[in-house]
Chains A and B, each alone.
Chain A
Amino acid sequence: MKKPETLEGHVVVCGYGKIGEKICEVLEQSKKSYIVIEENPAIANLLRSMKIKVVEGDATHSRVLKMALIEKANALVTTFGNDTNNIFVILTARELNPNLLIASRAVSEEVVSKMHRAGAEIVVLPEVVGGMELGREMVKRKLKIRSLRV
């Protein structure tokens, strides 16, 4: 694996699932340099073929984070579907680079305060936000229909 020595001020994206993919799209659009850390070799190969910089490995290991040049990075996003993994990555990244801007996905609401304490500046809860959105939309339209009937 080639070490991307040239990177500086880049964004480290941990995990290339649905969320990671979207993040990369946005970063691409705003012309930021970024590097993906992905454990799944098939996805890593796919990314390489797409000319996206990628480190193959488990992002919870500090060695893998260092391979993604975390010391020179400006920001880190962790997108795992597992809260403990995300917290671990946040803690490790914060240790390695105190000036990092860290954003994280969270699955459970209880974990948000822990993530902030671990060092994450931005925490996003896709499931919670999605559930609220579904519920609200349903309520809004139902209430509208009800008022139309009255």
Chain B
Amino acid sequence: MVFRWRLDYIIAVIIICIFILSALSLIFISNIEPSVALYWTAATVFSVPGFVLDVPGFYRLGTVQTFTFINGLAYLILVTFVTAKFVNILSRIDVHKREMKRRISSMNEHILVCGYGRLGEKACEILDDHTMGYVVIERNPRVVKLLRERDIAVVEGDATHSKVLKMAGIERAGGLIAALGNDTKNVYITLTARELNPNLLIASRAVSEEVVSKMHRAGAEIVVLPEVVAGLELGKEIAEGV
């Protein structure tokens, strides 16, 4: 592993340096006992409250006065850094995921929409029009963020994984729309979904015509071929128009 100057390391080095410098200068410049010097340094760097040393003339020493200030600075850096780390860790706890889990667990007979491209978007619009509950499964984090902003129930992940489908509540779902642009993936989703819930109504998009029979065998009740349909439509219009 290549060593990189990360902020953590830099701050650790600074604090250790201040600690050693402070202890050594107290020991060697002001001739204070090593145990007392270490104790005082630790107490100031980590800022132990209500701490007073019972050594005569100790607080009038130049080194002690200087290092009170420097150690205070080290303490400030330490506190700032630890707080930042703590906030960072807190922010990483996925609030959305927990909230979504709760929301999905209250759903029943909902529709899973796998893939939120143009096709998935349109399908969702139709479902919206008929006030049917649905959960979108989408892999692209940017799209997921957009959906969260629109307050649409969404599970981030690959719909070909059964874990992701289970997260979207496939056992309680009423239907599934596989709207990915990849035939193999759609077939795979269909198979997985059929296994997980035999009563599911499955609709799938197909790009190629050869895959339609496979999709039906895999368990899809509805198969739609947008490209083929569009090609036929365009061809017919042109053939009639020419």
Contact = CB atoms under 8 A, between A and B. Distances in A.
Interface residues on B, range: 35 or more
Given A108-B118, A142-B201, A126 B179 contact: no
Contacts of A122: 234, 237-238, 241
A22 B235 contact: yes
B231 A135 contact: no
Contact of A75 (B118, B132, B222, B242): B242
A32 B241 CA distance: 11
A22 B232 contact: yes
Contacts, number: 162
B144 to A, nearest CB: 19
Dominant SS among interface residues on chain A: helix
A105 B203 contact: no
Contact of A22 (B127, B221, B231): B231
Interface string B61-98: 00000000000000000000000000000000000000
Given A25-B235, A26-B232, A135-B126, A121 B241 contact: yes
A17 interface: yes
B156 to A, nearest CB: 21
Contacts of A127: 117-119, 122, 226
Interface residues on A, range: 35 or more
Given A26-B232, A75-B238, A134 B118 contact: no
Interface string A103-145: 1010110000000000001101111111111111111011101
Given A75-B242, A103-B238, A133-B226, 8 more contacts: A19-B227, A23-B238, A32-B242, A77-B238, A105-B234, A131-B123, A134-B179, A135-B126
Interface of B: 111, 117-127, 130, 132, 174-175, 177, 179, 201, 203, 205, 207-208, 221-222, 224-239, 241-242
